[in-house]
């Protein structure tokens, strides 16, 4: 078994000015963080947590490490909020999926109301349990699931990364089979679409992660796009990975993640407002995708194009004079 195609799409949605969702795309580790807090604090919290997970991803290979990396994310967000009054009270959800393809298992680490789903044989199953007020009210029989979906307090979460000195994350491991497709998403998706709609959007895209990601974001926006929408999709397929993990690329001196300053540049802000869809061809495991990657490539390509044009014009000028 191995990870097949995978993709991530994040979108600001129709109502929010900024995107306070962050993601980690470092196969075999995938994660979502949905920040909360006044001003831009939610964005800072989500980025701090995602950076902590991203840095730890190369050394994270089994479920026993998930609590520790969430604890580290918690520590960074908590300490920043203590040091910077403008960010007091900020926090973030974290939902991690760590694939152990040879063992046929996926481990999850989870805090808050972002979700992990498994699509198997056309049936979508929520793998994580929301740490939310409405989930607790459903659990205790006060609300029906249908009432919870429309409840005005449905985005109130009972547990977050970074709002307390420590956090107790859910960590658990599930079996997986070839043909399974996993979805991690922020509540900007799950509040807008029912599970049936999520399943049919994925099936309607022939379970292609990139096309399904675009379809899910478009559907959530069509429904109002009231919050930031982030989806990570990956499939589990038959066969052995020729190269199980791109660890060799992560040695000392290899590309590192951007510094977690919490102060995004204008470029990063601009990126946050446009959908960033990334997917990889079916061969082998997907390549890691880092925050802020993509624009650099576009700028490099643009620079190359401009220099080719400039040389062309110079040659033309010299030829005609
Ligand atoms: Mn959200």
Res 155: pLDDT: 86
Q: How remote is the CA of residue 12 from the centroid of ligand 1, in Å? A: 10
Q: How remote is the CA of residue 228 from the centroid of ligand 1, in Å? A: 6
Q: How remote is the CA of residue 219 from the centroid of ligand 1, in Å? A: 16
Q: How remote is the CA of residue 161 from the centroid of ligand 1, in Å? A: 14
Q: How remote is the CA of residue 305 from the centroid of ligand 1, in Å? A: 38
Question: Is-contact 186 228, C-beta < 8 A?
Answer: yes
Calculate mean pLDDT across residues 189-218. Answer: 97
Question: Is-contact 295 271, C-beta < 8 A?
Answer: yes
Q: How remote is the CA of residue 240 from the centroid of ligand 1, in Å? A: 36
Calculate mean pLDDT across residues 163-177. Answer: 97
Residues 6+ apart with CB under 8 A from 159: 111, 112, 131, 167, 168
My answer on whether 298 and 167 are in the same domain is no
Question: Rounded to whole angstroms, how far apart are CA atoms 126 and 146?
Answer: 16
Of 165, 202, 200, 204, nearest to 183 by C-alpha is 202
Residues 6+ apart with CB under 8 A from 237: 1, 2, 3, 4, 178, 179
Angle in degrees, CA 184, 190, 194, rounded to 5: 120
My answer on whether 174 and 263 are in the same domain is yes
Q: How remote is the CA of residue 153 from the centroid of ligand 1, in Å? A: 13
Q: How remote is the CA of residue 151 from the centroid of ligand 1, in Å? A: 15
Res 250: pLDDT: 39
My answer on whether 22 and 148 are in the same domain is yes
Q: How remote is the CA of residue 94 from the centroid of ligand 1, in Å? A: 11
- A 10 A CB-CB count for 250 gives 16
My answer on whether 223 and 99 are in the same domain is yes
Q: How remote is the CA of residue 113 from the centroid of ligand 1, in Å? A: 8
Number of domains in the chain: 2
Q: How remote is the CA of residue 274 from the centroid of ligand 1, in Å? A: 17
My answer on whether 151 and 231 are in the same domain is yes
Q: How remote is the CA of residue 10 from the centroid of ligand 1, in Å? A: 11
My answer on whether 265 and 318 are in the same domain is no
Burial of 31 (0-12, 13-18, 19+ CB in 10 A): buried
Calculate mean pLDDT across residues 26-46. Answer: 93
Calculate mean pLDDT across residues 62-89. Answer: 96
Give 316's pLDDT tier (boundaries 50, 70, 90).
Answer: confident
Q: How is residue 170 written in tokens?
A: 């859910």
- The answer on pLDDT for 251 being more than 70 is no
Q: How remote is the CA of residue 117 from the centroid of ligand 1, in Å? A: 17
Q: How remote is the CA of residue 110 from the centroid of ligand 1, in Å? A: 15
My answer on whether 267 and 295 are in the same domain is no
Res 317: pLDDT: 72
The tens digit of pLDDT for each residue in 113-124 reads 999 999 999 999
Per-residue b or e along 64-94, where b marks 16 or more CB atoms closer than 10 Å to that residue's CB: ebbeebbeebbbbbbebbeeeeebeebbbbb
Q: How is residue 102 written in tokens?
A: 């040879």
Question: Is-contact 253 294, C-beta < 8 A?
Answer: no
Q: Which value, to the nearest 10 degrees, does the dihedral of the CA atoms of residues 125, 210, 65, 59 take?
A: 160
Q: How remote is the CA of residue 83 from the centroid of ligand 1, in Å? A: 25
The tens digit of pLDDT for each residue in 281-300 reads 444 556 665 443 334 445 56
My answer on whether 87 and 148 are in the same domain is yes
Q: How remote is the CA of residue 252 from the centroid of ligand 1, in Å? A: 35
Res 40: pLDDT: 85
Tell me which residues have their CB within 5 A of the ion that is ligand 1. Answer: 34, 186-188, 227
> What CATH number does residue 175 fall under?
3.60.40.10
My answer on whether 226 and 249 are in the same domain is yes
Q: What percent of the chain has pLDDT over 70?
A: 78
Res 253: pLDDT: 37
My answer on whether 253 and 297 are in the same domain is no
My answer on whether 277 and 302 are in the same domain is no
Question: Rounded to whole angstroms, how far apart are CA atoms 53 and 28?
Answer: 12
Res 265: pLDDT: 45
- The answer on pLDDT for 199 being more than 70 is yes
My answer on whether 19 and 129 are in the same domain is yes
Domain that holds residue 147: 2-290
Higher pLDDT, 24 or 259: 24
Least confident of 7-16, 66-75, 189-198, 240-249: 240-249
Q: How far is CA 175 from CA 63, 68, 102, 108, 114, in A?
A: 13, 22, 11, 11, 21
For residue 235, the cross-strand partners are 181
- The answer on pLDDT for 30 being more than 80 is yes
Q: How remote is the CA of residue 187 from the centroid of ligand 1, in Å? A: 5
Cα Rg of the chain (Å, integer): 20
């Amino acid at each position: 078994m191995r990870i097949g195609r995978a993709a991530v799409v994040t979108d600001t949605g129709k109502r929010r000015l900024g995107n306070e969702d962050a993601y980690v795309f470092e196969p075999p580790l995938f994660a979502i963080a949905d920040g909360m807090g006044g001003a831009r604090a939610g964005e800072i919290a989500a980025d701090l947590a995602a950076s902590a997970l991203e840095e730890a991803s190369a050394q994270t290979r089994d479920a026993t490490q998930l609590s520790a990396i969430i604890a580290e994310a918690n520590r960074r967000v908590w300490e920043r909020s203590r040091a910077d009054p403008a960010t007091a009270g900020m926090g973030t959800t974290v939902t991690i999926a760590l694939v152990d393809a040879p063992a046929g298992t996926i481990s999850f680490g989870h805090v808050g109301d972002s979700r992990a789903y498994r699509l198997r044989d056309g049936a979508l199953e929520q793998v994580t349990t929301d740490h939310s007020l409405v989930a607790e009210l459903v659990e205790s029989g006060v609300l029906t699931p249908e009432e919870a979906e429309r409840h005005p307090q449905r985005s109130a979460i009972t547990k977050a990364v970074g709002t307390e000195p420590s956090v107790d994350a859910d960590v658990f491991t599930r079996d997986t089979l070839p043909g399974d497709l996993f979805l991690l998403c922020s509540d900007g998706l799950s509040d807008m679409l029912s599970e049936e709609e999520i399943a049919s959007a994925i099936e309607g895209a022939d379970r292609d992660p990139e096309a399904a990601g675009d379809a899910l974001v478009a559907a959530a926006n069509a429904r109002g796009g009231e919050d930031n929408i982030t989806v990570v999709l990956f499939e589990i397929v038959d066969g052995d990975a020729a190269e199980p993990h791109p660890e060799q690329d992560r040695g000392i001196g290899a590309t590192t993640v951007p510094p977690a300053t919490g102060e995004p540049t204008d470029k990063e802000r601009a990126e946050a407002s446009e959908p960033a869809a990334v997917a990889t061809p079916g061969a082998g495991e997907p390549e890691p995708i880092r925050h802020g990657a993509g624009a650099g490539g576009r700028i490099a390509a643009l620079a190359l194009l401009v220099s080719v044009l400039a040389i062309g014009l110079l040659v033309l000028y010299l030829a005609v004079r």
